[in-house]
Amino acid sequence: MSRPVILALNAGSSSLKFELFAADSDETLGHGIVECIGRDDACVRLHDGKGGNLPVPDGQPADHAAALQLTLDSLRAAFPDIRVVAVGHRVVHGGVHFDGPVIVDDEVMARIEALDPFAPLHQPHNIAGIRAAGAAFPGVPQIACFDTAFHRTQPLVNDTFALPSRFYDEGVRRYGFHGLSYDYITSELKRIAPLIAAGRVVIAHLGNGASMCAVQSGRSVASTMGFTALDGLPMGTRCGQLDPGVVLYLMEQRGMTTDQVRRLLYEDSGLLGLSGGLSNDMRTLERAGTPEAQRAIDYFVFRIQRELGAMAAAMGGIDALVFCGGIGENSRLVRARVCERTEWMGLEVDHGRNARNETIISSEMSRAHVMVVPTQEELVIARAARRLLNLPGQGG
Ligand code: ADP
């Protein structure tokens, strides 16, 4: 008999990440990524539930529909007896309307499409993923999980800019992103450390995209990302917080077009820009040891420390700092440096625990906990599908 499974999809601009879950538990059967969609070097990688490599068919997908087809061909070859009972999608923008996951129907699809102008670099790819999955699995329910939904609980002072209020009314707000990651970390804390989960937690999601969130009693009260995924911390290639006067200067005095400014802020800035074009990859910067690489790391760390203070202030204190994301989960250097000079907040790292990547890396003397919790955004999607479709199973 075929095995019912849930497929979680995360469609980016040039990549499609996917993970296959058992329909009745948190068990992952396989995961992978199609990279460089639309380019000659496009390829698919597939791993089993334990991280081992699985064979994949050749193919250079030209678009997201072709990438999904290649994904399905790979999964069907590797898991011949599966039956997809739900497809879950990461959708970057849910606007003011969506404060949780939903089953996609025509009305939901229209609302997601209407949010295109708010996230023009991401939303169209999410929509392409939903359409491609709809064509590949006619009649199979699709679930949309929004990166903004977790933050809809934020109070007005964190949700608004100091613009005339009509702009707030038309949707110019601080939405915050990385919500699936924060949702997962919050649920995982409830499981492994319920007392901490009930308190004041700052989560630092540090990957190629990076942001921080203040979570009080399990609810988001502040975050560093704003209207778009540009604000807050510097990232691999994105600038993070920037005086809007810089944009006016670039356009008025330097004559840059909106396309040029967009490319500058999204693709040429952050760690890549600060390191003089060396790399957006923290591993490369840590190895390089050049003054330019050092400058990029110094700025990254400093801005995390600044925002750590801001997030703690939004909650009137801090009971735990949790690191996640590729850098947060792996870079002992960044973690140690972020926690330098934070004794005033009651944070002290135990360098042995930090070097061993333990779950709790704070010292016995530390008043607040410092933790490393690997995030699992795709699992949040699978759990949402199980919940919305009333599928039997344990977990989340
Ligand atoms: P994305 O936001 O694209 O999902 P990830 O969460 O995978 O990105 O994070 C990618 C970042 O994590 C890169 O900057 C990479 O260099 C960094 N990273 C991964 N492993 C390590 C490591 N061992 N040490 C330092 N940085 C690491």
Evaluate whether 152 touches 203 at the Cβ level (below 8 Å). no
CA of 289 to the centre of ligand 1 (A): 18
Type of residue numbered 92: V
Ligand 1, from 283, 334, 373, 375: best to mutate by most atoms within 8 Å of Cβ? 283
Half-sphere exposure of 71 (CA within 13 A, CB side): 28
H/E stretch holding 303 reads helix 291-315
Orientation of helix 179-192 relative to helix 377-388, angle to 10°: 80
Q: Which residues are paired to 90 by β-bridges? A: 145
The amino acid at residue 304 is: I
Encoding tokens for residue 155? 């109070």
User: Do the bridges between strand 3-11 and strand 82-91 make them parallel or antiparallel, or are there none, so unpaired?
Assistant: parallel
pLDDT of residue 70: 87
Query: How high is the pLDDT of residue 23?
Result: 95
The arrangement of strands across the sheet holding 200-206 comes to 219-223, 210-216, 200-206, 320-324, 369-372
The pTM assigned to this predicted structure is 0.94
Q: Indicate the pairing of strand 43-48 with strand 102-103.
A: unpaired
Residues 6+ apart with CB under 8 A from 73: 57, 59
Give the whole-angstrom CA distance, residue 353 versus residue 363. 8
- The secondary structure of 319-335 as a DSSP string is SEEEEEHHHHHH-HHHH
User: Any residues with Cβ below 6 Å from ligand 1, and which?
Assistant: 207-209, 236, 281-283, 286, 325-327, 330-331
**In this predicted structure, what is the pLDDT of residue 394?**
55
Q: Give the model's pLDDT for residue 359.
A: 97
74 DSSP 8-state letter = H
147 given a catalytic annotation? yes
Q: How far apart are CA 165 and CA 158, in angstroms?
A: 14
Among protein residues, the one whose CA lies closest to atom 12 of ligand 1: 326
DSSP 8-class letter at 208: S
Tokens (6 digits) for 27:
């068990």
Residue 395 has a pLDDT of 53
Burial readout 11-49 (b: 16 or more C-beta within 10 A, e: otherwise): bbeebbbbbbbbbbeeebbbbbbbbebeeeebbbebbbe
- Say what angle helices 64-78 and 123-136 make with each other, to 10 degrees: 50
Q: Identify whether the C-beta of residue 15 lies closer than 8 Å to the C-beta of residue 33.
A: yes
Residue by residue, pLDDT tens for the chain (396 residues) are 799 999 999 987 778 899 999 999 999 999 999 988 888 888 888 898 888 888 888 888 888 888 888 888 888 888 989 999 999 999 999 999 999 999 999 999 999 999 998 888 889 999 999 998 999 899 999 999 999 999 999 999 999 999 999 999 999 999 999 999 999 999 999 999 999 999 999 999 999 999 999 999 999 999 999 999 999 999 999 999 999 999 999 999 999 999 999 999 999 999 999 999 999 999 999 999 999 999 999 999 999 999 999 999 999 999 999 999 999 999 999 999 999 989 999 999 999 999 999 999 999 999 999 999 999 999 999 999 999 999 876 555
Cα(375) to centroid(ligand 1), Å: 12
Count of C-beta atoms within a 10 Å radius of residue 172: 16
Q: Which of 101, 83, 91, 104 has the alpha carbon at shortest distance from 6?
A: 83
Helix (H, G, I), strand (E, B) or coil at 203: strand
As given in the structure block, the two tokens for residue 209 are 């995209």
d(CA 360, CA 373): 9
Question: How far is residue 182's CA from residue 307's CA, in Å, rounded to a whole number?
Answer: 16
User: For the chain, how far is it from start to end, CA to CA, in angstroms?
Assistant: 27
Return the best residue to mutate from 327, 329, 335, 338 for the ligand 1 pocket (most ligand atoms within 8 A of CB): 327
Residues 255, 248: Cα–Cα separation, whole Å: 10
Residue from 26, 73, 81, 147 carrying the catalytic annotation: 147
Tracing tokens 């009080």 back to the chain, one arrives at: 216
Estimate the crossing angle of helix 258-267 against helix 244-252, to 10 degrees: 140
Q: How far is the CA of 184 from the centre of ligand 1 (A)?
A: 18
Q: What radius of gyration do the chain's Cα atoms show?
A: 21
